[in-house]
Structure 1
Amino acid sequence: AIADTFEARRGERMAWYSSATMVGRFLAPFVGGVLIFGDDFRWVYLADGFAGVLAFLAAVRLPLATATSGSAWQTFKRQRGRYGQEIAFVLRHPGILATSGIEAVQYFAFGSLETFLPIYLNEKLGYPAWKIGLLFTVQILSATLTKPVVGRLSDRYGRVPMIAGGLALGGIATGVIILYPDYLTIAVLSAIFGLGLATVTASTSALVADLSRAQGRGGALGILSSIMDIGHSTGPMVAGVLVAAYSYQMTFEIVGSLLVLISLVYWSGMRRLATRTDQSQRFL
């Protein structure tokens, strides 16, 4: 809905939406804990239901991108051929697939970091759980607060440079965070990784929306999300194999180097693709 509603400043608007969801996820455990009185969980679920009703009322007031008649099922039957064509268009579009792959690579690193950095900090450096949790709070806050800013920058300076730069920044932070035992340095590097994450994800969804056709925009963003989930889920598995085979330091250096290398490949490939398709304004 955000992508359909806002053609101008799409990156900034979608980044505000993403930051709002992150705020909700950040506050939910705290608010839920406050609403638990002894063994009474009723107030938690009542609050959930109330929030869901408010979200529903807000959703029904959203403007429709296109007017429809009849039920959703009737609309689907009338336009199922077009849906298939739009999905096929997305799956054949190299820019959309490459950008979705970048999102997967970013979340591959994120999954690796959030799984094995706490274990390393606890087992090797002896940091308590509350200090480790605070590091990831700093990371999420960094990503949440900077997303609208980097989304606006992607509107002004282009999606691809922001994506490539953010991925490289996150790769550098991932590769060196394991080298410093000092808590403050780790916190700064964690915040830098959050900034890189925000820079990438604020621009990937906007670029996929830019490159897709209006009728298939939802499908394109759905494919982006699905590919991202694959990267997020495989990160801990692959990192676990690397930790077992080598070491924590080698694992983080490999993951960080992978991000930097892929950022360069993506930037170069998208520039060539933009030149070949004469769509440099849309890509860059």
Structure 2
Amino acid sequence: MKLLNRENSILAIMGLTFGFVFVDRLSINFLMPFITQELDITNAQIGLLASALAMSWAISGYFLSNYCTRYGHRVGVLVISVILFSLFTLLSSIAASFMALLIIRVLMGIAEGPVLPIAQSILIEESSEKRRGFNMGFVQNAASNLLGSVLAPIILIYVAENYGWRHAFIVAGVPGLIVAFLIYKYIKLAPHTQVDKSVTSEAKSYGLGMLVRNKNVMVSIGLSCLMVAWMFSQLTFIPVYLTKVQGYSGYQMGSVMSILGVSAVISGLLVPMLSDMFGRARVFRLFTLIAIFCPLSVLFMAGSQAYMMTSLFLFYFGLGAIPIVMATVPSESVPRKYVVGTLGFVMGVTELVGGFMGPSISGVLADIYGLNAPFYFAAGLAGLAFIGSYMLKETSPKFGTVNQVANA
């Protein structure tokens, strides 16, 4: 197998694309302890900043994904989206108030919404069957977390401590403009991957009603919402909890966030690969069980940074289960020509419910009950996902028990 064959080249570019989406999305979490020193922001407002982006991401992802399903232009939409979210990250550097940050985050969410559905729809067409789960997991978890959760906290916190948080936003925003050029230059969809205009009316008929009646898609949405809320409830409040409650320095907090990123990269490769080998449902179930203990590690092991980082590294492997229900299972539960629209719907609802409500509820709970509350909330969400996993039907080509229509 050639290292730079078409499949691997597309995988690398899509990985960079969503990786810098994650850098821009998570940058505000890493920089929040520095931002709150200058701007008067409450815990509820911290949660709202994460939630507002998720809400606009959800709406944009759904409508623009359906636009691509009906009319094509996936590469063009992707290039414009990457340029815009990079510019909005740059604009964050001049925000002078909570309201300014909120408006910028909403606009950033609009730009970022269609990126993952489009990237995953391209991947499912260009991936060999035996690598489908691995490739989709690599982009959604491994590449995104290598850039967004491993490298970003180290680099951005260093810049913030030495040059200020505004300069850190500039560092976060520039690489996306380079990635947009790579997409424009090198992603050329082969004729068989272009949207067939003759099926436009059929695509319209396979809309919201059909998706709602697809039980496996709806179960996947529910599980995805729970796990995304689990993820963002932690990522939003770990930096603030460790610095304000546990007295960690910015460097120590950055080290903790980076170890989460290392875990996410490994799990993003390992867990989807295991789902290719042993089935989607059983692997998802195992790793949601593991996920329960991740937020509890923050609460009960923060007294020893080494012990906490070790336990977080192991239990954050639960993150690797997310692309199974957010991308792989839904894409294997509908005809292939409807994948981009289906993923836009799944990711839109997930962002609206899990990405929006998770941090918002956590922020309110933190203001009422203290900064311990978001982590108990996250543990409960993972527990519900574990229970709900027994409703998920298998879709793996190797073990599938539902009607395989993804190749239709």
TM-score category, normalised to shorter length: 0.7 to 0.9
Using a 3 Å threshold, how does the CA distance of structure 1 residues 54 and 154 change in structure 2: closer, same or farther?
A: same
Could you report, residue by residue, the CA deviation over 1:1-60 in whole angstroms, capped at 9, with x for unpaired residues?
1112333331012122332344444657849x7xx9xx9x99998865444222222211
Using a 3 Å threshold, how does the CA distance of structure 1 residues 156 and 203 change in structure 2: closer, same or farther?
A: farther
Q: Secondary structure at the residue paired with 2:332? A: helix
Equivalent runs, 1:163-202 vs 2, <5 Å: 163-180=284-301, 181-202=303-324
Give the drift of 1:280. Answer: 2.3
Q: Is the 8 A contact 1:162 1:203 kept in 2?
A: no
Query: Which region of structure 1 is more displaced relative to structure 2, 123-132 or 227-236?
Result: 227-236
CA–CA separation in structure 1 for the residues paired with 2:240 and 2:136: 34
**1:239 aligned partner:** 362
Give the drift of 1:218. Answer: 0.8
Q: Is the 8 A contact 1:175 1:254 kept in 2?
A: no
Gaps of 5+ in 2: 1-121
Using a 3 Å threshold, how does the CA distance of structure 1 residues 225 and 65 change in structure 2: closer, same or farther?
A: farther
CA–CA separation in structure 2 for the residues paired with 1:245 and 1:152: 41
Q: Secondary structure at the residue paired with 1:148? A: helix
**1:259 aligned partner:** 382
**1:86 aligned partner:** 206
What is the identity, as a one-letter code, of the residue corresponding to 2:267? T
Percent of aligned positions that are identical:
18
Q: Is the 8 A contact 1:169 1:196 kept in 2?
A: yes
CA–CA separation in structure 2 for the residues paired with 1:115 and 1:63: 40
**1:5 aligned partner:** 126
Q: Is the 8 A contact 2:125 2:193 kept in 1?
A: no
Normalising by the residue count of structure 2, what TM-score does the alignment of the two structures yield? 0.57
Using a 3 Å threshold, how does the CA distance of structure 1 residues 68 and 282 change in structure 2: closer, same or farther?
A: closer
Query: Which region of structure 1 is more displaced relative to structure 2, 20-29 or 87-96?
Result: 20-29
Could you report, residue by residue, the CA deviation over 1:240-280 in whole angstroms, capped at 9, with x for unpaired residues?
2222333433442233023113311x222225x99xxxx62
Using a 3 Å threshold, how does the CA distance of structure 1 residues 173 and 282 change in structure 2: closer, same or farther?
A: farther
Using a 3 Å threshold, how does the CA distance of structure 1 residues 80 and 197 change in structure 2: closer, same or farther?
A: same
Normalising by the residue count of structure 1, what TM-score does the alignment of the two structures yield? 0.79
Runs of 4+ in 1 over 6 A off after TM superposition: 41-47
Q: Is the 8 A contact 1:107 1:232 kept in 2?
A: yes
CA–CA separation in structure 1 for the residues paired with 2:362 and 2:172: 36
Give the drift of 1:157. Answer: 0.8
Could you report, residue by residue, the CA deviation over 1:217-242 in whole angstroms, capped at 9, with x for unpaired residues?
11111112212212122212101222
Bigger Rg over Cα: 1
Aligned residues: 264
What is the identity, as a one-letter code, of the residue corresponding to 1:224? V
Using a 3 Å threshold, how does the CA distance of structure 1 residues 13 and 282 change in structure 2: closer, same or farther?
A: farther
Q: Is the 8 A contact 1:111 1:233 kept in 2?
A: no
Could you report, residue by residue, the CA deviation over 1:106-145 in whole angstroms, capped at 9, with x for unpaired residues?
1111111122222221222111111111111111121112
Using a 3 Å threshold, how does the CA distance of structure 1 residues 155 and 117 change in structure 2: closer, same or farther?
A: same
What is the identity, as a one-letter code, of the residue corresponding to 2:215? P
Output the aligned Cα RMSD.
3.3
